[in-house]
Structure 1
Amino acid sequence: MILRTSGPSPFGRKVKIVAKMLGIYDQLTVEMADTSNPEDTLRSQNPLGKIPILILDDGRKIFDSRVICEYLDAQVDGTSLHPTESNARWEALTLQSLGDGIIDASILQVYETRLRPEDKRHEDWLSYQSDKVKRSLDHLSKNAPSLEGDLTIGHVAIACALGYLDLRFDGKWREIYPGLVTWLDAFRARVPAFDATKFEG
């Protein structure tokens, strides 16, 4: 299988962590993609032009990260990161949505500051996105998901969101949410794949 992503992509990182946790990372060939390059085959592989994409051996393409992670999970017998019991499943998927939402709002802020000239930046839009992140971190600081028992895709998504805030926002969240720092440290200790997939650049 070919995983098309980029080094700093938090959604690509989520897929890599899941593959490592499931013990099938060695079945993936990681291939870099450039979302900004119209000549990259990415846009023919995913009409949305987004990463990550998983290209199966038979040529089928699967996207986005949520679908890829569930697909990989379905290839492995035994412990699943996607619970099947109703309450646990909805809790895990909702937590994943929260983590993915933090990433989405953060990426939009990065795009706004990187791609627009300073005099054309929309401060209200930036505030709107940053408020989403703040509210989510406020919520998580009071409702951090337990790391006792089985881990789920929700735990992975939250960890990747915090990792992305470290990468693109200089880890400023750490001073405000020490409890989440402790939570992420505990996750890192339990899931070596988190550090193994950290982007250095």
Structure 2
Amino acid sequence: MKLALYWGSASPFVRKVMVVAHELGLEDAIEIRDSAANPIERDTRIQEFNPLAKVPAARTEDGTLLYDSRVICEFLDAEAGGGLFPPPGPARWTALRRQALADGLLDAALLVRYEMLIRPAAHQWPLWISKQHEKVADALDAMAADLPADGCRDIGAITYACALGWLCFRFPDLAWQAGRSELADWHARFEMRPAMLATRPTA
């Protein structure tokens, strides 16, 4: 199996794909294609794989296009014979729900980053930023109340860890760990997995 992948070193969604690849032993099967994804200055190279010009975006050996991270991760899991996406049943719905929650946290946090980094200061909307921060806080509280068991490495746990790692990377002053010590401890342990250590984001 070979997979061409447009990626970005700082993207939490790309990291999720790469963590899955490492956990499944497929990292050497991925051909990395660098990109400069940006919501304003769109990188048209990525549109070869994804018309939205968003990463991660992939193409299989037979030309099948795969996007976004959820699709690529499930494809990799299927290619490896399973393991990170439980079969239909309660464990699967829990894993997928956790993935959706952590992805939603990232969506809100990215909106804050774009608002503050890309939009001119005179046009920034403080209420919008505040409401996105509320979503992030609510998601963190929900994650703290629904921790994966130690040793769990399914797609829900991986997405939790990638989302929390990205908050540490891009919003260090947020101090999300305050009042959520069990979530912080869980994340610290999960970050020591070889797949997480191999995929830490860089600016």
TM-score per shorter chain, which class?
over 0.9
Write out aligned runs for 1:52-91 (5 A): 52-77=56-81, 79-91=82-94
Deviations 1:13-71 (A, max 9, x none): 00000000001110001111122344532123211111101111122210000000000
Which residue of structure 2 lines up, in the alignment, with residue 167 of structure 1?
169
Which residue of structure 2 lines up, in the alignment, with residue 116 of structure 1?
119
Write out aligned runs for 1:12-91 (5 A): 12-36=14-38, 37-38=41-42, 40-77=44-81, 79-91=82-94
Which residue of structure 2 lines up, in the alignment, with residue 198 of structure 1?
200
Query: What's the TM-score once normalised by structure 2's chain length?
Result: 0.92
Task: Confirm or deny: 8 A CA contact 1:54 1:63 kept in the other structure.
Answer: yes
Query: What's the TM-score once normalised by structure 1's chain length?
Result: 0.92
The unaligned stretches of length 5 or more in structure 2 are: none
Task: Confirm or deny: 8 A CA contact 2:105 2:135 kept in the other structure.
Answer: yes
Write out aligned runs for 1:120-199 (5 A): 120-148=123-151, 150-170=152-172, 172-189=175-192, 191-199=193-201
The unaligned stretches of length 5 or more in structure 1 are: none
Alpha-carbon distance between aligned partners in 1 of 2:102 and 2:70, rounded to the nearest angstrom = 11
Runs of 4+ aligned residues of structure 1 deviating over 6 Å after TM superposition are none
Q: Give secondary structure in 1 for the equivalent of 2:32.
A: strand
Alpha-carbon distance between aligned partners in 1 of 2:178 and 2:138, rounded to the nearest angstrom = 16
Q: Could you tell me how far 1:177 is from its partner in structure 2?
A: 2.2
Task: Confirm or deny: 8 A CA contact 1:34 1:40 kept in the other structure.
Answer: no
Q: Give secondary structure in 2 for the equivalent of 1:30.
A: strand
Q: Could you tell me how far 1:6 is from its partner in structure 2?
A: 0.4
Aligned residues: 198
Task: Confirm or deny: 8 A CA contact 2:49 2:58 kept in the other structure.
Answer: no
Q: Could you tell me how far 1:169 is from its partner in structure 2?
A: 0.3
Q: Could you tell me how far 1:160 is from its partner in structure 2?
A: 0.4
Q: Give secondary structure in 2 for the equivalent of 1:175.
A: coil
Residue identity matched to 1:129: Q
Q: Give secondary structure in 1 for the equivalent of 2:58.
A: strand
Q: Give secondary structure in 1 for the equivalent of 2:172.
A: coil
Deviations 1:134-165 (A, max 9, x none): 011112222222124x4210000000000110
Alpha-carbon distance between aligned partners in 1 of 2:48 and 2:183, rounded to the nearest angstrom = 39
Provide the identity percentage.
Answer: 37
Residue identity matched to 1:58: D
Q: Give secondary structure in 1 for the equivalent of 2:177.
A: helix
* Alignment root-mean-square deviation, CA: 1.5
Q: Could you tell me how far 1:111 is from its partner in structure 2?
A: 0.3
